[in-house]
Amino acid sequence: MSTSLTPNPKMEYRRLGSSGLRVSVLSFGSWVTFDNQLKDDTALACMQAAWDAGCNFFDNAEAYAGGESEAIMGRVISQLGWKRHHYVLSTKVFWGIDGPIPNMQNSLNRKYLHHSIEGCLDRLQVDFVDLLFCHRADPKTPIEETVWAMSDLVDRGKVLYWGTSEWSADEIRAAWEIAERHHLHKPVMEQPQYNMLERKRVETEYRRLYDDIGLGTTIWSPLASGLLTGKYLEGVPSDSRAALPGYGWLASRLTDEASLDVVRGLAPIADSLGCTLAQLALAWCTKNPHVSTVITGASRESQVHENFGALDVIPLLTDEVMTRIDEVLSR
């Protein structure tokens, strides 16, 4: 068990947009899984497996499991004794975890941002997070107030880089321009959903932002919550996230016939490459040069091993294979 990261020669460490920070092209996050599906011991096994595969970036959020996801990750990292300068840690704020307290819910006001970061750092057991995301846009707070507050957190050493998650291109550009005008720390990265079934925002809406402002992306749900693994072809498996209490809204999406037809169309391509559907879907995300890192999720260690095996599939995705995939996706 090494407390140092051993860079994996197969792992690409991509720049986070135009920043100088490099993140492993496959990374690991804790949405749904931590606390709901796995406790400290399995979380440790999964994070260790990702680390051993060369993963240096771990994603979290204040709202995941009401703060318990950050607490688990904090305990696991402390138990593993990883050197702080060898890993990149992120969290996200917006929803709050105190319920409907004025200022503390669904907001990016200065007071909430300055308060919430303290709880995040406490639960994660660190002095700073490398990345802090505004988890959604807040139409009720002036973007200028949020930009000043996020920039202050960087100045105060609580955060190294800040960014957004699921903001529109116009909102990201407005934030960047405010920061530019006032010589503040600019948003560096966005965390959007991106996978074979969800392409528009990353490929079309943000298109100009990559060159214009050097936006990096840490993309989420690369397997569309597991749909792209093929596990929902015969219905909802009882040990999957779609079967969890409170996730009925996901179950209907994960059993959508049109999406399942796409998965059926991809199966022969995965077979011809000798890989799994999960590996094909993850490797495909990395082929987009505007993706800085693909945040993977797993409810058990075996999935981490399979998913990081996608590193072997990336070189197999030639132009010809990408065209075959595109034909299936555009049916």
Q: Which residues bind ligand NAP (CB under 6 A)?
A: 29-33, 59, 92, 165-166, 191, 220-226, 229, 231, 240-241, 278, 295-299, 303, 306-307
Residue 130 contacts residue 89 (beta carbons within 8 Å) = yes
Nearer Cβ to ligand NAP, position 36 or 183? 36
Nearer Cβ to ligand NAP, position 5 or 50? 50
Nearer Cβ to ligand NAP, position 151 or 217? 217
**Least distance from ligand NAP to the Cβ atom of residue 44, Å:** 16
Tokens 């214009």, residue located: 212
Find the helix packing angle between 319-329 and 257-273, rounded to 10°.
160
Nearer Cβ to ligand NAP, position 158 or 241? 241
Q: What is the largest CA-CA distance in the chain?
A: 56
**Least distance from ligand NAP to the Cβ atom of residue 320, Å:** 25
**Least distance from ligand NAP to the Cβ atom of residue 31, Å:** 3
Q: Which helix (H) or strand (E) holds 133?
A: strand 129-134
Residues 6+ apart with CB under 8 A from 83: 3, 4, 5
289 CB-side CA count, 13 A: 5
Which residue among the candidates 64, 87, 194, 232 is catalytic per the annotation? 64
**Least distance from ligand NAP to the Cβ atom of residue 181, Å:** 27
Q: How far apart are CA 245 and CA 312, in angstroms?
A: 35
β-bridge partners, 88: 57
Q: How far apart are CA 73 and CA 113, in angstroms?
A: 21
Residue 160 contacts residue 186 (beta carbons within 8 Å) = no
Q: Could you tell me where the DSSP H helices lie in the chain? A: 40-52, 68-80, 110-124, 143-155, 169-182, 200, 207-213, 248-254, 257-273, 277-286, 301-308, 319-329
Nearer Cβ to ligand NAP, position 211 or 258? 258
Q: How far apart are CA 11 and CA 54, in angstroms?
A: 6
**Least distance from ligand NAP to the Cβ atom of residue 59, Å:** 4
**Least distance from ligand NAP to the Cβ atom of residue 19, Å:** 18
**CA 164 from centre of chain:** 12
Nearer Cβ to ligand NAP, position 316 or 320? 316
Q: How far apart are CA 233 and CA 268, in angstroms?
A: 15
Q: How far apart are CA 240 and CA 120, in angstroms?
A: 28
Nearer Cβ to ligand NAP, position 31 or 112? 31
**Least distance from ligand NAP to the Cβ atom of residue 78, Å:** 20
64 is catalytic: yes
The encoded tokens of residue 270 equal 């995965």
Point out the residues that are catalytic: 64
